[in-house]
């Protein structure tokens, strides 16, 4: 395991405090990744942790990293959308740290980064639709709608037409095509939006969040806590709507953001918004 490549967990102290890990017996880390948050929960209390992730490779990393805690840690490869299929006991707390990890971002084979030449894949796991399938099989109007609704991209029609005309097969080709379609200044913003839209659709992120949060809130015991770290406004809107439907109370009136010190050390955490809910 190469330590420098591991994902650095965001707002660990805040997660530990809000989950109240010293008091609980069983927590679910719905987005295990490289196991950074799970490790902190295991270190800071006596509780057990179930960790779910779609990414087989990261599950292996987390297993190795958390090997001193095998008697209190259970890794599960799967989609948090189906939490109720994996778990049938009440939970003291659940953590969702949404999106991709930097371990995945830095792996060109995953195709999440517009800075790296890699496969047009973008799946967290290894099954289902890929970004390349969308480029190949969807028509220009469908692609444009995806870019507009899930990336907020105003030039969605132009970019979608170009995608259909030049049929990129790698992240590098897609990124070049986008760069050529937008003003030079601020090009990275367009690139983030386009890649975000693909990622959301490839992974059915909105459906996963909706069902995952509903499932988690049903599994929480009375007064159990749900901590969610979101990275873009689309996720946040959906989360607040579902929480409302589930009848949980909100403990954080405003989202908690990383402290300046963390921000300087780990610029990737800059868009993180942490919210806490209670059953």
Contact with ligand SAM (CB under 6 A): which of 27, 73, 114, 124? 124
**Rounded Cα–Cα distance for residues 255 and 248 (Å):** 16
Nearest to 149 by CA among 193, 114, 117: 193
Q: Is beta strand 273-278 parallel, antiparallel or unpaired with respect to 220-230?
A: antiparallel
Contact with ligand SAM (CB under 6 A): which of 19, 21, 28, 34? 34
Residue with tokens 């609704």: 149
Residue with tokens 């015991």: 221
Segment interacting with ligand SAM, rule: CB under 6 A, options 30-38, 115-123, 158-166, 216-224? 30-38
Segment interacting with ligand SAM, rule: CB under 6 A, options 17-25, 79-87, 158-166, 270-278? 79-87
Segment interacting with ligand SAM, rule: CB under 6 A, options 46-54, 187-195, 236-244, 260-268? 46-54
**Rounded Cα–Cα distance for residues 117 and 14 (Å):** 35
Segment interacting with ligand SAM, rule: CB under 6 A, options 47-55, 141-149, 172-180, 216-224? 47-55
Q: Between residues 98 and 160, which has the closer beta carbon with respect to ligand SAM?
A: 98
Q: Between residues 59 and 178, which has the closer beta carbon with respect to ligand SAM?
A: 59
Edge-to-edge, what's the strand order for the sheet holding 249-250? Answer: 73-77, 48-53, 26-29, 91-97, 220-230, 273-278, 249-250
Residues 135-173: b if buried by 16+ CB within 10 A, e if exposed: beebebeebbebbbebbebebbbebbebbbeeebebbbb
Contact with ligand SAM (CB under 6 A): which of 21, 27, 28, 33? 33
Residue 79 within binding range of ligand SAM, rule CB under 6 A: yes
Q: Between residues 28 and 34, which has the closer beta carbon with respect to ligand SAM?
A: 34
Q: Taking the complex as a whole, how short is the minimal distance between the CB of residue 147 and ligand SAM, in angstroms?
A: 21
Structure tokens at 32: 């295990």
Contact with ligand SAM (CB under 6 A): which of 14, 53, 153, 262? 53
Given a contact cutoff of 8 angstroms between Cβ atoms, the answer to whether 232 and 151 are in contact is no
Q: Taking the complex as a whole, how short is the minimal distance between the CB of residue 46 and ligand SAM, in angstroms?
A: 20
Residues 185-220: b if buried by 16+ CB within 10 A, e if exposed: eebeebbebbbbbbbbbbbebeebbbbbbbbbbebb
Residue 208 within binding range of ligand SAM, rule CB under 6 A: yes
Residue 211 within binding range of ligand SAM, rule CB under 6 A: no
Q: Taking the complex as a whole, how short is the minimal distance between the CB of residue 35 and ligand SAM, in angstroms?
A: 6
The CA dihedral of 162, 164, 166, 170, to the nearest 10 degrees, is 100
Residue 55 within binding range of ligand SAM, rule CB under 6 A: yes
Q: Between residues 252 and 266, which has the closer beta carbon with respect to ligand SAM?
A: 266
The site map against ligand SAM for 88-107 (x = CB under 6 A) is: ---------x-xxx------
Residue 273 within binding range of ligand SAM, rule CB under 6 A: no
Query: Which stretches of the chain bind ligand SAM, using CB under 6 A?
Result: 7, 9, 31, 33-37, 52-55, 58, 79-81, 97, 99-101, 124, 208
């Amino acid at each position: 395991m190469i330590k420098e490549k591991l994902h650095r967990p965001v707002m660990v102290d805040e997660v530990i405090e809000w989950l109240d890990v010293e008091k609980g017996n069983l927590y679910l880390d719905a987005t295990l990744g490289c196991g950074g948050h799970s490790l902190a929960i295991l270190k800071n209390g006596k509780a057990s942790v179930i960790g779910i992730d779609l990414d087989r490779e990261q599950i292996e990393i987390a297993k190795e990293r958390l090997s001193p805690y095998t008697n209190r840690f259970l890794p599960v490869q799967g989609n948090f959308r189906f939490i109720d299929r994996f778990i049938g006991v009440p939970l003291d707390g659940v953590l969702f740290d949404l999106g991709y990890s930097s371990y995945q971002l830095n792996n060109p084979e995953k195709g999440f980064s517009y800075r790296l030449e890699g496969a047009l894949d973008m799946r967290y796991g290894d099954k289902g639709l890929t970004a390349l399938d969308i480029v190949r099989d969807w028509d220009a109007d469908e692609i444009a709608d995806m870019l507009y609704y899930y990336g907020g991209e105003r030039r969605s029609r132009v970019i979608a037409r170009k995608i259909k005309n030049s049929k990129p097969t790698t992240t590098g080709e897609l990124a070049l095509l986008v760069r050529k379609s937008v003003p030079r200044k601020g090009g990275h913003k367009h690139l983030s939006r386009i890649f975000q839209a693909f990622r959301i659709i490839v992974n059915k992120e909105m459906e996963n969040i909706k069902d995952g949060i509903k499932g988690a809130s049903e599994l929480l015991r009375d007064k159990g806590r749900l901590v969610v770290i979101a990275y873009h406004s689309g996720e946040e809107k959906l989360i607040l709507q579902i929480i409302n439907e589930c009848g949980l109370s909100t403990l954080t009136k405003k989202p908690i953001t990383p402290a300046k010190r963390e921000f300087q050390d780990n610029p990737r955490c800059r868009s993180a918004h942490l919210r806490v809910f209670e059953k």
